[in-house]
């Protein structure tokens, strides 16, 4: 797809311009409203996600905002999971609540609790993540979609951690699916972007919010995401194969308290993952709890040499973060505990490196973390 690097598009005469700016539109006039390269991204994502229509955004947060704003007005209520990406949580409790939207959080993996929360008052939107950031909690979309629809609510899913190669929430009952295309879709940490897909009537409302609020993706960024999508399948296959092997290996290491990877039988929602994911492909994201809490977690980050110390995920490079001090740092300790985040929790986005190299790196880091944990547990006499 070429990059149509232009803000404006000329027309032959007033009648053609009238056709373009009428509703429904045909053609292109101004790139905040539509652009051939960005429209191609929307169409590509819709096809990948099994949606009727799709739209590209300037960021994942812009996509989430438009999906929510297209459904909500003052006085409406959202039910969202306790295990939720930190910035989505703050968008809900700061921006949307500030405009008079009520937001209630629930453990979405507890069917009885979720059903009760959705039924407790009129619910306009039920929101969830396929694989939660950072805890890898997996949502049972078919069940939650049924609860939402029984109460007339729209079910919106953030599928960033899975990507459409692993899971397609629209096929499981979701009404709108959003993704940070910054992550697996583009795949190389060189663009900030977002996407939304769903039914054509719902997407018209999403696009209206985009045109009104302006979080439009630029043509060059859309081109980068389109180029990333061309290798999505081979990248995610490899991410997932290495992640599964690394997760199994980490589970057997001293100093590792717990490994959370949806592909492991020990994962609390392993069955839901197996029902909903592409067979044998449980994604490239895992979480590890190390013995020794915050200090040991920090020691791992500081000792690893192969991995990138950064806040993102879904790239060719392995990235390890310590959410309590990065993506979830805006949450209080109590909120962190509610979201299932322990002080020693590390999130690993497995890249395309060789498994053996990653194992060597983690083995060295865990050895340091074990020393740190030992020192924390046995303070020197007299200290």
Ligand X SMILES: Cc1ncc(COP(=O)(O)O)c(C=O)c1O
Residue ranges of the alpha helices (H) in the chain?
14-21, 36-49, 60-69, 86-90, 97-98, 111-119, 141-150, 200-213, 219-229, 232-251, 270-276, 293-303, 333-338, 355-377
Which of 111-119, 156-164, 268-276, 278-286 is the region at the interface with ligand X (rule: CB under 6 A)? 156-164
Q: Which of 140, 158, 175, 221 is catalytic?
A: 158
Burial of residue 380 (number of CB atoms within 10 Å: 0-12, 13-18, 19+)? exposed
Task: Clarify whether 183 is annotated catalytic.
Answer: yes
Cβ closer to ligand X: 161 or 277?
Answer: 161
Cβ closer to ligand X: 28 or 184?
Answer: 184
The least distance separating ligand X from the CB of residue 259, rounded to whole angstroms, comes to: 20
If one asks whether residue 180 binds ligand X (CB under 6 A), the answer comes out as yes
Longest distance between any two alpha carbons in the chain, whole Å:
87
Whether the Cβ atoms of residue 64 and residue 158 lie closer than 8 Å to each other: yes
Alpha-carbon distance of 63 to 158, in angstroms, equals 10
Cβ closer to ligand X: 293 or 323?
Answer: 323
Beta bridge partners of 158: 129, 178
If one asks whether residue 163 binds ligand X (CB under 6 A), the answer comes out as no
Binders of ligand X among residues 35 to 94 (CB under 6 A) are 59-61, 85, 87
Alpha carbon 16 to chain centroid, angstroms:
40
Task: Clarify whether 208 is annotated catalytic.
Answer: no
If one asks whether residue 182 binds ligand X (CB under 6 A), the answer comes out as yes
Residues in contact with ligand X, total (CB under 6 A)? 14
Which of 157-165, 273-281, 292-300, 357-365 is the region at the interface with ligand X (rule: CB under 6 A)? 157-165
Residue nearest to ligand X (CB): 60
Cβ closer to ligand X: 191 or 372?
Answer: 191
Q: Which of 4, 28, 45, 85 is catalytic?
A: 85
If one asks whether residue 169 binds ligand X (CB under 6 A), the answer comes out as no
Classify residue 92 by its DSSP letter: I
Task: Report the helix count and the strand count for the chain, using DSSP H and E.
Answer: 14, 11
What is the binding site for ligand X (CB under 6 A)?
59-61, 85, 87, 129, 133, 158, 160-161, 180, 182, 192, 194
> Known catalytic residues?
32, 85, 158, 183
């Amino acid at each position: 797809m070429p990059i149509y690097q232009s803000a404006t598009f000329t027309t032959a005469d007033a009648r053609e311009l009238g056709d373009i700016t009428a509703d429904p539109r045909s053609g292109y006039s101004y790139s905040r409203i539509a652009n051939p390269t960005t429209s191609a991204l929307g169409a590509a994502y819709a096809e990948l996600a099994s949606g009727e229509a799709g739209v590209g955004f300037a960021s994942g947060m812009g996509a989430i905002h438009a999906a929510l704003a297209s459904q909500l007005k003052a006085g409406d209520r959202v039910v969202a999971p306790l295990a939720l990406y930190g910035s989505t949580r703050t968008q809900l409790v700061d921006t949307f609540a500030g405009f008079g939207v009520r937001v209630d959080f629930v453990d979405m993996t507890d069917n009885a609790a979720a059903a009760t929360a959705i039924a407790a008052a009129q619910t306009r939107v039920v929101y969830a993540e396929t694989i939660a950031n950072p805890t890898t909690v997996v949502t049972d979309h078919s069940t939650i979609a049924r609860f939402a629809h029984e109460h007339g609510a729209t079910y919106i899913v953030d599928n960033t951690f899975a990507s459409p190669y692993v899971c397609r929430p629209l096929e499981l009952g979701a009404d709108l699916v959003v993704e940070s295309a910054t992550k697996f879709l583009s795949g190389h940490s060189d663009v900030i972007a977002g996407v939304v897909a769903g039914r054509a009537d719902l997407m018209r409302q999403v696009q209206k919010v985009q045109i009104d609020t302006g979080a439009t993706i630029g043509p060059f960024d859309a081109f980068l995401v389109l180029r990333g999508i061309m290798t999505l399948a081979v990248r995610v296959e490899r991410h997932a194969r290495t992640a599964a092997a690394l997760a199994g290996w980490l589970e057997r290491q001293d100093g590792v308290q717990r490994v959370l990877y949806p592909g492991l039988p020990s994962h609390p929602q392993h069955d839901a993952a197996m029902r909903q994911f592409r067979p044998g492909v449980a994604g490239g994201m895992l979480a590890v709890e190390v013995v020794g809490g915050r200090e040991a977690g920090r020691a791992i980050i500081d000792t690893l040499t192969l991995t990138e110390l950064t806040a993102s995920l879904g790239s060719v490079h392995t990235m390890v973060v310590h959410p309590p001090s990065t993506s979830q740092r805006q949450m209080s300790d109590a909120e962190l505990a509610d979201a299932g985040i322990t002080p020693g929790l590390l999130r690993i986005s497995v890249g395309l490196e060789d498994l053996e190299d990653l194992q060597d790196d983690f083995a060295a880091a865990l050895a340091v973390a074990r020393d740190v944990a030992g020192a924390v547990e046995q303070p020197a006499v007299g200290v």
